[in-house]
Amino acid sequence: MKPAFYRAHFLAAIAAALFFSGFSAAAAASSSAEKRQEIRKMRSETLAKLYRVHPAARDKIQHSAGYAVFSNIGINLILLSAAGGSGIAHDNGSGRDIYMKMVSGGLGFGLGVKDFRGVFVFSSSKAFRQFVNSGWEASAQADAAAKSGEKGGAAAGAITVAADVELYQLTENGLALQATIQGTKYYKDDDLNGK
């Protein structure tokens, strides 16, 4: 391999480290109460946008067992991709909010930053509890299901990603017809939940 190839990988790793260290510094600057407030604000803004671009989602979310809203910022540098974000899961039965985190990484060619919002809707309490209590990792199978969501899911605005779980993915341009969630792990934020 040529030295330029190694240099490009080294520079990509440095850029990714600097990118995510910025998130850590910003996160350390805010208190837990401020972080929770920012996440609740993101939820409100994301749901308002979803209801504008897909009004039927409001009824689906209100009559679900629960839902979760996430903000994700990712970066692609040459052959490395990484993303991180935060979110909130809401149990419609109890009215309880659970703060969560998400992280993903992988290999893929490209340059750029991607910012999107995801809204998961759980049609059963079992699916909601499993997502919140056990965490969830989007596998290749979930990603393939999302990409082939032509049977009802994409046409209805939401994409089925697992049994009793649908996903609306929003970008700056509105509702995404295809979701890319492979390699993403969702789990409770113990710091914000007070544990």
Contacts of 78 (CB under 8 A, 6+ apart): 8, 9, 11, 12, 109, 110, 111
Q: Is 80 helix (H, G, I), strand (E, B) or coil?
A: strand
Residue 194 is assigned to a structural domain of this protein: no
Task: Please give the residue that has the higher pLDDT: either 170 or 122.
Answer: 122
pLDDT of residue 141: 38
CA proximity to 169, closest of 142, 189, 192? 142
pLDDT of residue 158: 78
Q: Is 47 helix (H, G, I), strand (E, B) or coil?
A: helix
Task: Please give the residue that has the higher pLDDT: either 9 or 114.
Answer: 114
Residue 47 is assigned to a structural domain of this protein: yes
Residue 195 is assigned to a structural domain of this protein: no
Domain count, the chain: 1
Among 30-34, 157-161, 185-189, the minimum mean pLDDT is found in: 157-161
pLDDT of residue 69: 96
What would the pLDDT profile of 121-157 be if each residue is shown by its tens digit? 999 999 999 999 988 776 543 443 444 333 333 335 7
CB atoms within 10 A of CB 190: 10
Residue 94 is assigned to a structural domain of this protein: yes
pLDDT of residue 77: 58
Contacts of 100 (CB under 8 A, 6+ apart): 68, 70, 86, 87, 88, 89, 132, 186, 187, 188, 189
pLDDT of residue 3: 54
pLDDT of residue 7: 47
What would the pLDDT profile of 5-35 be if each residue is shown by its tens digit? 444 444 444 444 444 444 443 444 478 899 9
Among 66-75, 103-112, 129-138, 155-164, the minimum mean pLDDT is found in: 103-112
**Domain range for 125:** 3-188
CB atoms within 10 A of CB 112: 9
Task: Please give the residue that has the higher pLDDT: either 115 or 84.
Answer: 84
Task: Please give the residue that has the higher pLDDT: either 105 or 149.
Answer: 105
Percent of the chain with pLDDT over 90: 39
pLDDT of residue 151: 37
